[in-house]
Amino acid sequence: MSPDTLVQVPSVATPSSPFTPADFDAYVMATYARFPLVLERGAGCRVWDTEGREYLDFVAGIATCTLGHAHPVMVEAVTRQIQTLHHVSNLYYIQEQGQLAQWLVQHSCADRAFFCNSGAEANESAIKLARKYAHTVLGIQHPVILTAHASFHGRTLATITATGQPKYQKNFDPLMPGFAYVPYNDIAALEATIAQLDSDERQVAAIMLEALQGEGGVCPGDQAYFQRIRQICDEKGILLILDEVQVGMGRSGRYWGYEQLGIEPDIFTSAKGLGGGIPIGALLCKSFCDVFQPGDHASTFGGNPFAAGVALSVCQLLEQENLLANVQARGEQLRAGLKAIAQSHSDQVVAVRGWGLINGMVLNPDVALTSGDVVKAAMAEGLLLVPAGPKVVRFVPPLIVSESEVDQALQALERAFAAV
């Protein structure tokens, strides 16, 4: 058979009745508090449940479905790659992986890339790289990585230790050593912590922060704060690591969140939107701190032809269609609409904040209304949203969202507030 010949895929019979939440719960571990909704198909910024009801999807797999659902470019890339070469070992050169690395380097401050399967794995890789750099280049015996309170970096043992939220760490001790926490956007506290650790002979090797805290309540980084951190890192030889898992790949209105801050990190991580919904993660760094050697780190599936090929198609479309302009315009439209709703419900909403198409509506801490209440009410109005903590409602639609779809979402949200 010629390599150019498309394989005819046999049709697969669909179940006569949907797999219900009760069926699901009988077999799947209860690691999520799921909403009672079974989704079965999607197109663009819309999804449909098993009862045929349509929803505007402003969750996008939690800031993951960059091009929405069933985008023709992704369908073509998936089909082409699965029929060509979907997986080989990293013992061999993989051209799709190399091409993806090239695109990422050419569109960022990075010089090198390492590929894995998720944001947690990318952050784990960054932690390992920082520790090896501390030992082999800086000569630090007990390196410490500073992270922020209210941060979120993943669910592995190292990344929940890096995560500055005790609720994620409960009952998983002993946690990994070598981390300390500081308030976000508070430069005086950070400088005091560095001085204290240096006096304790536990030297700071890296500072790991999100350019915008997503799970921590959609809190954008302050430019002056990050620019001072960059100066401190340069003065002391500390590595600056930025977690761009949620805010990167165009979601902020720029390719990378660090561009909103006017700085360059030494190391940063990407996942979520990188593959548009296909699992992939990436560690990116400047060449001076690329101290990994063969055997230091690896991933069986990381950067395989399938994941890398599809991610490359997402990256290329992001550039070719100038989706950043849409992110900026739709983000301004969305924030303006959210602020109008906040003004109409000033007893319940105290702030709207965010960048591009990652935005948060902050609820009044003194009233009983929670983000979960708003999410459920919006769902009843045909709009899918996601909490970012108990008092922040998060809005992260696909980057292809249209002007009319933003208007429809705002109308649904207004109805939801009227209902609650």
Q: What is the spatial distance between Cα 224 and Cα 299, in angstroms, rounded to a whole number?
A: 37
When divided into structural domains, the chain yields a total of 2
Q: Residue 109: count other Cβ atoms within 10 Å of its Cβ.
A: 16
Tell me the per-residue pLDDT of 344-385, one tens digit each, with 9 for 90 and over: 999 999 999 999 999 999 999 999 999 999 999 999 999 999
pLDDT of residue 20: 87
Domain membership of residue 180 (yes or no) is yes
Same domain, 370 and 355: yes
Give the CA angle between residues 89, 95, 98 to the nearest 5°: 100
Q: Is the pLDDT of residue 113 over 70?
A: yes
Same domain, 336 and 300: no
Q: Residue 89: count other Cβ atoms within 10 Å of its Cβ.
A: 10
φ/ψ of residue 44, rounded to 5: 60, -125
> Which stretch of DSSP H or E encloses residue 220?
strand 219-220
Q: Residue 311 contacts by C-beta under 8 Å, 6 or more apart in sequence? A: 100, 274, 275, 276, 278, 280
200 as an active site residue: the answer is: no
Residue 10: pLDDT band (50, 70, 90) is low
Domain membership of residue 299 (yes or no) is yes
Tell me the per-residue pLDDT of 22-66, one tens digit each, with 9 for 90 and over: 999 999 999 999 999 999 999 999 999 999 999 999 999 999 999
DSSP type of residue 164: B
Same domain, 270 and 232: yes
Is 411 exposed, middle or buried (CB count within 10 Å of its CB: 0-12, 13-18, 19+)?
middle
Residue 16: pLDDT band (50, 70, 90) is low
Same domain, 258 and 180: yes
272 as an active site residue: the answer is: yes
> What CATH number did the domain enclosing 96 receive?
3.40.640.10
Buried b (16+ CB within 10 A) or exposed e, 322-345: ebbebbbebbeebbebbeebbeeb
What sections of 107-147 are H helices per DSSP? 119-133
Q: Residue 209: count other Cβ atoms within 10 Å of its Cβ.
A: 26
pLDDT of residue 202: 76
Q: Is the pLDDT of residue 1 over 60?
A: no
Same domain, 332 and 301: no
Same domain, 312 and 285: yes
Domain boundary among 269, 298, 320: 320
- Which residue in 58, 152, 226, 292 is the catalytic one? 152
Tell me the per-residue pLDDT of 380-420, one tens digit each, with 9 for 90 and over: 999 999 999 999 999 999 999 999 999 999 999 999 999 98
Same domain, 199 and 288: yes
Q: Is the pLDDT of residue 5 over 60?
A: no
Domain membership of residue 54 (yes or no) is no
Q: What is the spatial distance between Cα 261 and Cα 224, in angstroms, rounded to a whole number?
A: 8
- Which residue in 114, 226, 243, 373 is the catalytic one? 243
Same domain, 202 and 153: yes
Domain membership of residue 1 (yes or no) is no
SS3 for 192?
helix
SS3 for 267?
strand
Least confident span in 28-37, 57-66, 97-106, 264-273: 28-37
Q: What is the mean pLDDT of the chain?
A: 95
Domain boundary among 320, 348, 366: 320
Token pair of 273 as six digits: 């939107």
SS3 for 241?
strand
Same domain, 246 and 232: yes
Of residues 15 and 187, more confidently modeled: 187
Domain membership of residue 341 (yes or no) is yes
Q: Residue 240 contacts by C-beta under 8 Å, 6 or more apart in sequence? A: 206, 207, 229, 230, 233, 263, 265, 266, 267
Sheet with 349-355: list strands edge to edge.
349-355, 358-363, 392-395, 386-387
243 as an active site residue: the answer is: yes
Q: Residue 286: count other Cβ atoms within 10 Å of its Cβ.
A: 16
Domain boundary among 287, 320, 353: 320
Domain membership of residue 140 (yes or no) is yes
- Which residue in 57, 132, 266, 272 is the catalytic one? 272
pLDDT of residue 8: 57
Domain membership of residue 147 (yes or no) is yes
Is 189 exposed, middle or buried (CB count within 10 Å of its CB: 0-12, 13-18, 19+)?
middle
Same domain, 280 and 232: yes
Give the CA angle between residues 62, 68, 74 to the nearest 5°: 120
Per the structure, the complete domain to which residue 414 belongs is given by 324-388+410-420
Buried b (16+ CB within 10 A) or exposed e, 56-77: bbbbbbebbbbbbbebebbeeb
- CA-based radius of gyration for the chain: 22
Q: Is the pLDDT of residue 84 over 50?
A: yes
Residue pair 191/232 in contact by the 8 Å Cβ criterion: yes
Same domain, 334 and 283: no
Domain membership of residue 66 (yes or no) is no
Q: What is the spatial distance between Cα 145 and Cα 126, in angstroms, rounded to a whole number?
A: 11
> What CATH number did the domain enclosing 367 receive?
3.90.1150.10
Same domain, 180 and 312: yes
CA distances from 336 to 35, 193, 255, 325, 346 (A): 29, 38, 22, 17, 15
